[in-house]
Structure 1
């Protein structure tokens, strides 16, 4: 093989040490699984963040297929102080994709570890490797004829349950809080040992995927949004297919209706009448399924209010559209549907739309698919709204109160508009908490707009922090900044854990703002 035409050294690692490690990686994994060429590394640098790709260039990428190989990689990395950034499918769009936290880290790509080890149709559990995608799991379940649903996030088909759960992602069925429905992990630690959490440490146990806690401190959470170990297997709970599934939408015409909406639906969420998260979708987020900004204006800057109103009028899109679903037996769904419709009628506002009434409306179909766990890629329509390949998810969390909504929308809109960008957002009420999901969309081909987008995202973090809002998930470029918002004590605890579990700092330095210091 020709000498690499593209090479970046890890921080603090000399060329000789790096090449010695590469030689050992090749012996362990085979030359075809040690990627050094520029064209081989290019897919790991495709980012949607407003920074140059070169700042996230890996020095190499490794593909492993067994736990033993991962243990071997870890041993080599400790010997040569090589930092590795582990990915499963590498499709974490809007939060950093496959790129490492910073330039020079070696990518450890686990997409070839894609075995579905077990699915139990009676206990409704699964045990999978990191490279398994939601689509693969769904197709396996269908092939077996099991009456089970998975809960994928929005860009469902190409992402996997392990990576999404470890980043504490969410979905749209009643099993939406993915970490809550995770049960048992296998983890390779920095010293090469293999930990099985929960009941997995008991020899001969058959309860690894059914009882989360085991004995002693609960450890699974340590390996989410962290860099304390490499998860090589994960258990998850699957949802039994309900007898009846009834998705619905309710369109609201006034921007200020969002306040009353949260107050109306929160009790239904807390009581379990609507068992999945209720999503309140703003106009431009809803429009992205069918509309492009260029259809209405080619002017730079934020989209004028008059054009947003035209989009509403011409496409019958609400200022806010609420989406939810009912699940269960026919009797359960009929009773709960009457509760929902009676409440909406008494409120005196809102146009209820059922699946039958929606017909072939692509926006409704997209949401209905999400809430039943179907595979869909419609979410990527968001990236066509403005064009140019730039996207960062800004995701603050608040109490599920109507009073939290308008002030957040107005604050976010003001900051986005100041930087020439649009508010494209939605709220998701999950019982007592509310996620505010804003897609900061911009043109990566426009250097000046890139700078504005970076400044905009930083100001969103700053201003929302001043109001007491914490971001629950963020892209690589802003991990350190978000970690600061959670205070010095939490950062110090994370540093102490990092030093204890990974004293050489080889696992994903900088992930979630965590390093050995």
Structure 2
């Protein structure tokens, strides 16, 4: 094997990864791990022994069998470039500090995850092979909930389900804002990726207040008011004094966030969910133009989801029920099947919150605008019991649901998400829709999308659904998302978030000055580059 490089071995697929990890006599399971490029087997074994002394032997996963769960991902990895070397799961801040000390000594790269459920973006897999997963799932304490201020302080392993159950158990008058698969994911992890939910508190980073961060050298930093002795306002006031640094620990690898504060939404006296149904793909521009004034004025206060019919159908149906040909499902086929389920080609979900009087005053204004756009404005009276309406009603009221996981069954378990951002303007929305359909059609993939409409911007969430078990399909999905990133970026529509397989590609679109600044911060805070190298293109 001396004539082969690591890249050559990766290109040989699982067998090559196994050969690199454990030699020619490796078992098939050895493809589940790959050693760091700069460590030989002896140094890696010594590092593992020290990590076991820190966290206990049961919480270091360094053989192929125990590492296998960390390889699970729905995103394409045709060249096997995202294979971990193992995982370590500390239970406390002190253990995190000790793990980092070991990692610095051996130059062992650590890929940090909270629950490892970053679905559509790589789950727990690292940006490059050989990294050991720093799994913070055991740090799962809800440290504090202030019932008066509606603030929370949690560890990385706490899930939205944990938070929801706590609020119910203690009969607290607050809602937790959730992403689409909230029960299994972490508020800390989702916030650090700048994810969104669907209530008026849907911008999770905006609602974040205070962090505890362990730097690469073991230093503990508390942001905002958290560094003040005897402070009682850590979760009440975001900004603190001096430069606001919380942002540099989101979508980065500059530290390990071990505590996160955030605000809970007071449960409103009244809540009314709506769906607006439009019948044609070309209606997308009219929907955005109708919605934008309401989002800018906050008359519609929550993050609005404008759902494409194909994505909606994939939640509860499989592709073969609708279309049995390899090319993209035609719009006419999607439209006809969607009608049988009470859906349009676009289904826009929003809610009104407050008192009965406030909702009664705003509803007629909203109705007139959307009816003028050609939409049917529907409520629980007309849609009650409809699977899709009930799902979005739950999301918009902070309830737990996992129904959107169903989209992975559409075409064989593969899924990656491309999330370009554009201004909330109808013309650009139409242009994005046309470009996405063109590229997906080229690869025989379906236009399964949602638009999330914020105050002045929209996120075009394009889900590339493919057969993960078919190497040709996996390669096709990988080529598709790379073409999308390149061509959308060329139009100024760069992604705000991406999977481990495309972080470098997206980072390039934000320019050399931006990348250089990130590199300088990285070098200052993590000179041995042990923390999640490659995350967001920062090495």
Structure-2 residue corresponding to 1:382: 407
TM-fit CA distance, 1:474: 0.4
Rounded Cα–Cα distance in structure 1 between residues aligned with 2:338 and 2:483: 29
Q: Does 1:417 align with 2:446?
A: no
Structure-1 residue corresponding to 2:14: none
Structure-2 residue corresponding to 1:392: 416
CA offsets per residue over residues 317-337 of structure 1, 9 Å max, x none?
211111100000111111111
TM-fit CA distance, 1:316: 3.0
Structure-2 residue corresponding to 1:149: 175
Q: Does 1:501 align with 2:530?
A: no
Q: Does 1:159 align with 2:185?
A: yes
Rounded Cα–Cα distance in structure 1 between residues aligned with 2:338 and 2:151: 43
Structure 2, unaligned stretches of length 5 or more? 1-25
271-280 or 8-17, which deviates more:
8-17
TM-fit CA distance, 1:37: 2.4
Contact 1:49 / 1:94 at 8 angstroms: preserved in 2? yes
Q: How does 1:57-456 map to 2 (within 5 A)?
A: 57-345=83-371, 347=372, 349-386=374-411, 388-456=412-480
TM-fit CA distance, 1:348: 5.7
Q: CA RMSD in A?
A: 1.4
TM-fit CA distance, 1:54: 4.2
Equivalenced residue count is 511
TM-fit CA distance, 1:13: 1.5
Rounded Cα–Cα distance in structure 2 between residues aligned with 1:91 and 1:55: 19
Structure-1 residue corresponding to 2:498: 474
Rounded Cα–Cα distance in structure 2 between residues aligned with 1:364 and 1:348: 21
CA offsets per residue over residues 492-511 of structure 1, 9 Å max, x none?
10000000000000000000
Rounded Cα–Cα distance in structure 2 between residues aligned with 1:474 and 1:109: 20
CA offsets per residue over residues 199-223 of structure 1, 9 Å max, x none?
0010000000011111111010010
Rounded Cα–Cα distance in structure 1 between residues aligned with 2:102 and 2:441: 49
257-266 or 468-477, which deviates more:
257-266
Contact 2:48 / 2:62 at 8 angstroms: preserved in 1? no
Contact 1:49 / 1:390 at 8 angstroms: preserved in 2? yes
SS at match of 1:322: strand
Q: Does 1:459 align with 2:483?
A: yes
Contact 1:118 / 1:126 at 8 angstroms: preserved in 2? yes
TM-fit CA distance, 1:403: 1.0
Structure-1 residue corresponding to 2:50: 24
CA offsets per residue over residues 88-113 of structure 1, 9 Å max, x none?
11001101101111111011111010
TM-score using structure 1 length: 0.97
Rounded Cα–Cα distance in structure 2 between residues aligned with 1:308 and 1:330: 37
Rounded Cα–Cα distance in structure 1 between residues aligned with 2:49 and 2:388: 51
Structure-2 residue corresponding to 1:490: 514
Contact 1:289 / 1:362 at 8 angstroms: preserved in 2? no
CA offsets per residue over residues 350-389 of structure 1, 9 Å max, x none?
1111012212100001111101010000111211222x11
Rounded Cα–Cα distance in structure 2 between residues aligned with 1:118 and 1:514: 33
CA offsets per residue over residues 4-45 of structure 1, 9 Å max, x none?
984532121222221221111111111111112222111100
Structure 1, unaligned stretches of length 5 or more? none
Rounded Cα–Cα distance in structure 2 between residues aligned with 1:9 and 1:426: 39
Rounded Cα–Cα distance in structure 2 between residues aligned with 1:67 and 1:287: 44
Contact 2:310 / 2:447 at 8 angstroms: preserved in 1? yes
Q: Which consecutive segments of 4 or more residues in structure 1 shift more than 3 A? A: 3-7
Rounded Cα–Cα distance in structure 2 between residues aligned with 1:375 and 1:148: 14
